[in-house]
Amino acid sequence: MELCALEELKAKKNLLAFSAGGDSTALFFLLMERGIEFDIAIVDYNLRQQSKEEVAYAKELAKKYGKKCFVKEVTLPSSNIEANAREVRYAFFEELIKKHGYHNLITAHHLGDQLEWFLMQLAKGAGLVELVGMEPVTRKSGYTLVRPLLFVTKEELRAYLERHNIRYFEDSSNYDEKYERNFIRHHFSEPFLERFSKGVKRSFGYLLEEKRLLELEFEDKDGLLLAKRPKSLYETKRLLRQMFKAKGYLLSSAQLEEILRQKEGVIAGKIAFALTSSWIYVAPYLKHKLTKEQKERFRRLKVPPPLRGFLAQKGIWLPEYKE
């Protein structure tokens, strides 16, 4: 079984996002076989009784193979469970990365996840950058996200687990079709991959190469994303989608149009943006108490208000706002 992006993991401090499910359990042992060092992190959402057994299994594996195991226990609100779980999960991983100095976060996304994502975005009317949303290596602010299984099928992973008699858990919620992803998986992506996995692997390889040719450049300045504003509306939209995606947020078409109309503001209460005639800025939205001098300077130079808290806290200045 061929894994990708392993060079990114060698001689680095790595954290594996673990769930005790088949995908992450298979990846646990595949990484060990290839001599990759890592620790693990697991979240207990308290949604199923089985989750306690899954955490116990994670701790058991960590102890047996000499790895650190980080556990977070949370109770999620009853609405929008998938989105809230993802937000909690990645906030936990990023907290650990920052605290313990990990270079990489490893996830067990596989070929089926790639195809599910593609179909979900296709149903929403997305472009190429959004359709091919997963890459083996994604640079984040402060760490790198690595997906070694992106060209491996779930069928291959299950065969590996059975061949080596490795224990894993099956999450019963994966069969609940009230979740859009499960509906697409059971009715479309899994049956399709059963027949055409070789061709799908080749196609995603080509699409990733072509996507990279289309991507536009922007700079990450300590969490502030900035780029020269393209002359064409089409490229401006593409750049905005890329910059927000780098912040972990996928813009809807309606949000994109609203950004272009408003020119500055905050999306989802978390991400601030500003479009000037020459630049595009995207940053975390922070409420930070400004000094009298900072307030006066920002006001005098007409720095976009949504960015001011972040700029003040980080001590960053924007290239076009000069005395």
**Residue linked to tokens 């760490």:** 143
pTM higher than the cut 0.85? no
* Cα 129 to Cα 136: distance, rounded to the nearest angstrom: 15
Q: For residue 125, give the nearest of 241, 28, 27 by alpha carbon.
A: 241
Determine how many CB atoms are found less than 10 A away from the CB of residue 77.
7
Across 118-147, average pLDDT:
88
Rounding to the nearest 10 degrees, give the CA dihedral for residues 123, 124, 128, 131: -60
* Helix, strand, coil % in the chain, rounded to nearest 5: 50, 15, 35
* Cα 151 to Cα 156: distance, rounded to the nearest angstrom: 10
In this predicted model, which residue has the larger pLDDT, 179 or 155? 155
Q: Are 106 and 41 in contact (CB under 8 A)?
A: no
Residue 322 is predicted with a pLDDT of: 62
Structural domains for the chain: 6-211 (3.40.50.620), 219-314 (no CATH)
Across 179-205, average pLDDT:
93
Determine how many CB atoms are found less than 10 A away from the CB of residue 232.
8
Strand order across the 104-106 sheet: 69-73, 39-44, 14-17, 104-106, 143-146, 137-140
Per-residue pLDDT tens over the stretch 258-310: 999 999 999 989 999 999 999 999 999 998 888 888 899 888 988 999 999 99
Per-residue pLDDT tens over the stretch 32-52: 999 999 999 999 998 888 999
Mean pLDDT of the chain: 92
Residue 323 clears pLDDT 80, i.e. is over it: no
pLDDT band at 202 (very low <50, low <70, confident <90, very high): very high
Cβ partners under 8 Å of residue 147, min gap 6: 4, 5, 106, 107, 108, 109, 134, 135, 136, 137, 138
